[in-house]
Amino acid sequence: MITPGIAQTEIMRRHPCFDGEAHDRVGRVHLPVAPRCNIQCNFCERRVCANLTIQHPGWTAKVLSVPEAVELVRSIVYSGEENFVVGVAGPGDPLANEETFEALRTIHDRYPQILKCISTNGLLLQEKLPQILAAGVSALTVTVNAPDSAIGKGIYSWVRYRETVYRGQEAAEFLITSQLHGIKMAIDAGLSLKVNTVLILGVNDQHMVKLGLLLREAGVKLMNIMPLIPSGMMKGHRAPTCDELRRARQACEAVIPQFYRCEQCRADVVYLP
């Protein structure tokens, strides 16, 4: 259930990925307990390697077991640090891995005062919402990259739901519909929610405002536009310049508030200011 006595505005103010000031004063600990994913984004390149040192979403030095993840949080709290948020952001999709809920439930039982969050593609958001709430999660980030399937078909290779694999425009349609339904339900349930969007030149860059309007209609209060990191099947794409990213954010800010401090953290980041 939602952390008792904490309003959505207070949760957002305390979360380093929702509030610009909190970004510098609140720590973040990502638990890489979720290796499996149920969609394939064309820009995604998940890696598990002990030698990785740079920031890249979906990358981790290793996948932790649930006991290892719980012990990591225990060791941080034992050291005297409690001003941090615990999140699961990969390296796959957290909602496609039962380990996500097991780890966060255990941590919530032991440390209910620590904010818990999940970063997801949103495919299973509606279906897994009861488990999300039962794990004590109070904040969600959902990555939505397209306002419609005509744009989305250039971003997603396939989407797997239960025993069915969707491809092309059908995959994008199924994903986007699931995302929007799940987002509305999560907000209605009292979760603080932010949407991440990867800016991909020549694919979705001319559709940011349309997406922002769609998200606003769904009840989203914060959007985070991130630059493409060329990798995977999009390794030949050019990353947007700082000016191109700034213009996209400014255009969208007219319809939905923007977050400017994202560092595109790894799935195993531990940052304690």
Alpha-carbon distance of 17 to 19, in angstroms, equals 6
Instruction: Kindly tell me if the per-residue pLDDT of 4 is higher than 50.
Output: no
Cβ(2)–Cβ(191) under 8 Å? yes
Q: CA nearest 85: which of 65, 66, 108, 101? A: 108
**Predicted pLDDT of residue 14:** 72
15 CB-near residues (< 8 Å, 6+ apart)? 22, 26, 85, 115, 117, 139, 192
Give Dmax (Cα) for the chain: 50
Cis ω for the linkage preceding 230 (within 30 of 0): no
Strand 270-271 relative to strand 27-30: parallel, antiparallel, unpaired?
antiparallel
Task: Name the helix (H) or strand (E) containing 116.
Answer: strand 116-120
Q: Could you give phi then psi for residue 76, rounded to 5 degrees?
A: -70, -45
Reported as a single tens digit per residue, the pLDDT across 136-163 is 999 999 999 999 999 999 999 999 999 9
Task: Name the helix (H) or strand (E) containing 223.
Answer: strand 223-227
**Predicted pLDDT of residue 1:** 47
Residue bearing the bigger pLDDT, 163 or 53: 163
Mean pLDDT lowest for which of 16-25, 104-113, 253-262?
Answer: 16-25
CA gyration radius for the chain? 17
Alpha-carbon distance of 57 to 128, in angstroms, equals 22
Beta bridge partners of 118: 88, 140
Alpha-carbon distance of 91 to 95, in angstroms, equals 11
Cβ(260)–Cβ(222) under 8 Å? no
Q: CA nearest 202: which of 240, 230, 255? A: 240
pLDDT band at 19 (very low <50, low <70, confident <90, very high): confident
Instruction: Kindly tell me if the per-residue pLDDT of 253 is higher than 80.
Output: yes
Give the orientation angle of helix 208-217 with respect to helix 242-253, to 10 degrees.
40
Question: Rounded to two decimals, what is the model's pTM?
Answer: 0.93
Cβ(171)–Cβ(158) under 8 Å? yes
Domains of the chain and any CATH numbers: 8-257 (3.20.20.70)
